[in-house]
């Protein structure tokens, strides 16, 4: 049978090693759906309930596997729904291909139905955005799109008018210069290595430092052993940006855990006291948590030379892959005899973990959210993949769940969107059917895309969802109070019985309110063979306190209380209790 334009698209993607597309049908992509039907043995189609989920899944699939993630949506509204997930991919530099439909090519730009210029709409989010101009055009642009997404680590977009999808592809090309089909699925990987001279200069700066701090991010995820070796030689604590949570396990004595608002006090102290900052694969955006410019000499490894010195002035930039660059650098580093900087960080971490354990084992009612994270962390398997959303939950996830070697962790780092946690977890489960895949999410974020929990039921993805239910957009409550000194407004959430919802979807749904039962309820859910959801009712007044509180934050907080913050007595006592517990 003759091939259609859509067949060429799907077969080209198969040649590129793609075996799953996340998407949602519509009349703008019926031709592509037909080709997916006829190629269903080689290419799976996973139907979501909201296109945004499909884009998040493509992004997470790329994050967790390093492979190209692909999503599909119809013309107009379908494509528009993809955008948030695609921005997540753009901002966390993940290779994603988005395919969208369009109506008949002769009606484009005539105020026809769903006449949205998606190739223009996607211009900002995509490194490559194109519209198919005829069935013979499909092969070239699909190859280009795959190559662009992978090489530029970003979003590529193909907009495909409906009539071209089902049109037969003629042999050869209609244009006089399109004689040869030179485009193949070949992808050339560079060595991604800095030059020798820069490595030498970087080693000189690092060797001269007396208090070196390492900041490692998502780009260092594959370089665990090399990071530890560098830390050992330099006597340098490894501070982890949020996306780099899994780059060094939390039980390793070389790391001080996270940084920033949801980071640890020893990380902050190391940043404040270091004389040399060595950044590895991180574009951690909160510059106020880095050393003051002039305080420390900077060295940075990044795959993208354009990101060198983006957040902190550096003397030497090493453009390359973290693992390979560190492998080359390590022999040039001298062992620092003075271990006091690392030792101080390690002592600080002993104290920090004691305090995390204390917060994670509190018997108070209502239950503290930290208890749920702490217990979950203890129960997770060695190969667990844990995805999180934005909110106070990210603080509990960052601090209270100890990353073990072999586990994977992610959330929406730079876009910091809500609602990605559930689709991220489903994508992880698709990529690794045998691993334990868990979403640790808030009630606000989960409810945004909760219909897609049924997608896990439909495809028998045995994901586990833990919802921290505080009936509030917790993060914003605290931000309104602490950043501007205002009483909270517009943040309460109408409660949903999520356990009942899970059961309505055909999955297991459990509720836990008592900290004494938290571990056993979580364990029960983790042991369910299929998808399961636990809603954990927690204290809505538990504040995500920063590792170190700044005086101006305390002042604004006091202001908000004085200006009529509801439940101010409850809040004041909760915070006071936390601070007192920190002091004793
Ligand atoms: C799509 C989107 N909308 C709004 C925000 C702003 N925002 C950040 S965290 C947050 C609250 C999240 O609430 P919830 O999921 O209930 O978690 P909690 O903070 O209560 O733990 C909001 C509204 C965002 N990051 N993304
Ligand atoms: Mg909430």
pLDDT in tens, 21-68: 999 999 999 999 999 999 999 999 999 999 999 999 999 999 999 999
What pLDDT score does 371 carry?
98
Smallest CA-to-CA distance from 128 within 95, 164, 82, 163 is with 95
Residue nearest to atom 16 of ligand 1 (CA): 444
Q: How confident is the model at residue 2 (pLDDT cuts 50, 70, 90)?
A: confident
What pLDDT score does 583 carry?
42
Q: Has residue 238 got a pLDDT over 50?
A: yes
Q: Has residue 408 got a pLDDT over 70?
A: yes
Q: Is the CB of 472 under 6 A from ligand 1?
A: yes
Q: Which of 347, 373, 405 is the last residue of a domain?
A: 347
Average pLDDT rounded to a whole number, residues 556-562: 75
Average pLDDT rounded to a whole number, residues 285-289: 94
Q: Is the CB of 71 under 6 A from ligand 1?
A: no
Q: Comparing 140-144, 307-311, 357-361, 560-564, which segment has the lowest mean pLDDT?
A: 560-564
Q: Which of 55, 411, 473 has the most ligand 1 atoms within 8 A of CB, as the residue to mutate?
A: 473
pLDDT digits (tens, 9 = 90+) for 437-476: 999 999 999 999 999 999 999 999 999 999 999 999 999 9
Q: Which of 445, 491, 492 has the most ligand 1 atoms within 8 A of CB, as the residue to mutate?
A: 445
Q: Has residue 548 got a pLDDT over 70?
A: no
CA separation for the pair 318, 35 (Å, rounded): 45
What pLDDT score does 577 carry?
63
Same domain, 316 and 392: no
CA separation for the pair 153, 298 (Å, rounded): 25
Q: How far is CA 443 from the centre of its chain?
A: 18
What pLDDT score does 180 carry?
63
Determine, yes or no, domain membership for 505: yes
- Two tokens, residue 151: 């090489």
CA separation for the pair 1, 113 (Å, rounded): 32
pLDDT greater at residue 425 or residue 569: 425
Same domain, 157 and 263: no
Q: What is the pTM of this model?
A: 0.96
What pLDDT score does 485 carry?
84
Q: Which of 281, 316, 347 is the last residue of a domain?
A: 347
What pLDDT score does 181 carry?
63
Same domain, 164 and 203: no
Task: Give kind and range of the element (H or E) at residue 370.
Answer: helix 369-379
Q: How confident is the model at residue 558 (pLDDT cuts 50, 70, 90)?
A: confident
Per the prediction, the chain carries an average pLDDT of 94
Determine, yes or no, domain membership for 356: no
Q: Has residue 557 got a pLDDT over 80?
A: no
Same domain, 400 and 534: yes
Q: How confident is the model at residue 486 (pLDDT cuts 50, 70, 90)?
A: confident
Same domain, 200 and 225: yes
Q: Has residue 183 got a pLDDT over 90?
A: no
Q: Has residue 547 got a pLDDT over 70?
A: no
List of residues 6+ apart from 373 with CB closer than 8 A:
360, 396, 397, 399, 400, 401, 440
Q: Has residue 521 got a pLDDT over 70?
A: yes
Q: Has residue 550 got a pLDDT over 60?
A: yes
Q: Has residue 584 got a pLDDT over 70?
A: no
pLDDT digits (tens, 9 = 90+) for 356-370: 999 999 999 999 999
Determine, yes or no, domain membership for 42: yes
Domain count across the chain: 3
Share of the chain above pLDDT 90, in %: 86
Same domain, 303 and 395: no
What backbone torsions phi and psi does residue 207 show, to the nearest 5 degrees? -70, -30
CA separation for the pair 322, 278 (Å, rounded): 12
Task: Give the CATH number for residue 468.
Answer: 3.40.50.970
Average pLDDT rounded to a whole number, residues 227-249: 98
Q: Cα(173) to centroid of ligand 2, in Å?
A: 56
Residue nearest to atom 10 of ligand 1 (CA): 391
Same domain, 326 and 411: no
Same domain, 162 and 205: no
Tokens 């698709």 sit on residue: 430
Same domain, 286 and 319: yes
Average pLDDT rounded to a whole number, residues 186-206: 92
- Two tokens, residue 557: 């907080």
Average pLDDT rounded to a whole number, residues 518-542: 97
What pLDDT score does 184 carry?
81
The dihedral through the CA atoms of 384, 238, 260, 310 has a sign that is negative
Q: Cα(491) to centroid of ligand 1, in Å?
A: 10
Strands (E), 24-154: 44-47, 69-73, 96-102, 126-131
**Residue 396 in contact with residue 474, Cβ under 8 Å?**
no
Q: Cα(36) to centroid of ligand 1, in Å?
A: 36
Task: Give the CATH number for residue 263.
Answer: 3.40.50.1220
Write the DSSP assignment of 232-258 as a string of letters. HHHT-PEEE-GGGTTSS-TTSTTEEEE
Write the DSSP assignment of 139-155 as a string of letters. HHHHHHHHHHHHHHTSE
Same domain, 427 and 475: yes
Q: Cα(447) to centroid of ligand 2, in Å?
A: 10
Same domain, 224 and 253: yes
Q: Is the CB of 217 under 6 A from ligand 1?
A: no
In angstroms and rounded to an integer, the radius of gyration of the C-alpha atoms of the chain is 25
- Domain hosting 244: range is 196-347
Q: Is the CB of 540 under 6 A from ligand 1?
A: no
Residue positions counted in the chain:
584
Q: Is the CB of 542 under 6 A from ligand 1?
A: no
Same domain, 278 and 136: no
**Residue 32 in contact with residue 161, Cβ under 8 Å?**
no
Average pLDDT rounded to a whole number, residues 77-106: 98
Q: Which of 347, 380, 410 is the last residue of a domain?
A: 347
Number of H helices, E strands in the chain: 22, 18
Give whole-number Cα distances, 9 to 98, 141, 143, 395, 523, in Å: 12, 9, 9, 42, 44
Q: Has residue 435 got a pLDDT over 90?
A: yes
């Amino acid at each position: 049978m003759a091939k259609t334009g859509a067949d060429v698209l799907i077969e080209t993607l198969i040649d590129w090693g793609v075996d799953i597309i996340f998407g949602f049908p519509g009349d703008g992509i019926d031709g592509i759906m037909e080709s997916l039907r006829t190629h269903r043995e080689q290419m799976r189609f996973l139907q979501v309930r909201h296109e945004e989920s499909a884009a998040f899944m493509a992004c997470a699939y790329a994050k967790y596997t390093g492979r190209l993630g692909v999503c599909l949506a119809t013309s107009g509204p379908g494509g528009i729904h993809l955008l948030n997930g695609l921005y997540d991919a753009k901002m966390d530099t993940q290779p994603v291909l988005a395919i969208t439909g369009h109506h008949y090519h002769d009606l484009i730009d005539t105020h026809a139905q769903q006449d949205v210029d998606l190739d223009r709409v996607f211009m900002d989010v995509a490194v490559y955005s194109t519209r198919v101009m005829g069935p013979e055009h499909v092969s070239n642009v699909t190859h280009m799109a795959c190559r662009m997404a992978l090489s530029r680590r970003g979003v590529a977009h193909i907009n495909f008018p409906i009539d071209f999808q089902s049109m037969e592809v003629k042999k050869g090309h209609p244009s006089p210069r399109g004689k040869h089909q030179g485009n193949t699925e070949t992808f050339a990987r560079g060595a991604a290595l800095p030059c020798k001279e820069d490595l030498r200069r970087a080693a000189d700066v690092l060797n001269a430092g007396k208090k070196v701090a390492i900041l490692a991010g998502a780009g260092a995820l594959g370089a665990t052993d090399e990071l530890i070796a560098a830390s050992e030689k330099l006597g340098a604590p490894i501070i982890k940006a949020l996306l780099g949570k899994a780059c060094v396990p939390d039980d390793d004595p070389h790391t001080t855990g996270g940084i920033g608002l949801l980071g640890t006090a020893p990380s902050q102290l190391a940043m404040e006291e270091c004389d040399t900052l060595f950044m590895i694969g991180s574009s951690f955006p909160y510059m106020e948590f880095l050393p003051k410019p002039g305080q420390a000499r900077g060295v940075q490894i990044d795959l993208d030379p354009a990101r060198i010195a983006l957040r902190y002035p550096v003397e030497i930039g090493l453009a390359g892959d973290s693992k390979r660059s560190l492998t080359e650098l390590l022999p040039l580093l001298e062992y620092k005899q003075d271990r006091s900087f690392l030792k101080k960080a390690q002592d600080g971490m002993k104290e920090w973990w004691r305090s995390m354990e204390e917060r994670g084992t509190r018997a108070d009612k209502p239950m503290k959210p930290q208890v749920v994270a702490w217990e979950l962390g203890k129960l997770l398997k060695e190969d667990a993949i844990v995805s999180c959303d934005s909110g106070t939950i990210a603080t509990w996830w960052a601090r209270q769940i100890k990353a073990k070697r072999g586990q994977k962790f992610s959330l929406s780092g730079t876009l910091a969107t809500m609602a990605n946690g559930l689709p991220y977890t489903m994508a992880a489960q698709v990529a690794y059917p045998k691993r334990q895949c868990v979403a640790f999410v808030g009630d606000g974020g989960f409810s945004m895309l909760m219909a897609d929990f049924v997608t896990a039921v439909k495809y028998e993805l045995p994901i586990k969802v833990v919802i921290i239910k505080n009936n509030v957009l917790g993060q914003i409550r605290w931000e309104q109070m602490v950043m501007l000194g205002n009483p909270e407004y517009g943040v309460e959430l109408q409660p949903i019985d999520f356990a009942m919802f899970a059961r309505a979807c055909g999955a297991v749904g459990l509720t836990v309110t008592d900290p004494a039962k938290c571990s056993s309820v979580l364990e029960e859910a983790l042991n369910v063979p299929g998808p399961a959801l636990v809603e954990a009712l927690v204290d809505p007044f538990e504040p995500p306190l920063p590792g170190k509180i700044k005086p101006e934050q305390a002042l604004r907080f006091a202001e908000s209380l004085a200006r009529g913050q509801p439940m101010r007595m409850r809040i004041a006592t909760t915070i006071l209790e936390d601070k007192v517990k920190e002091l004793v």
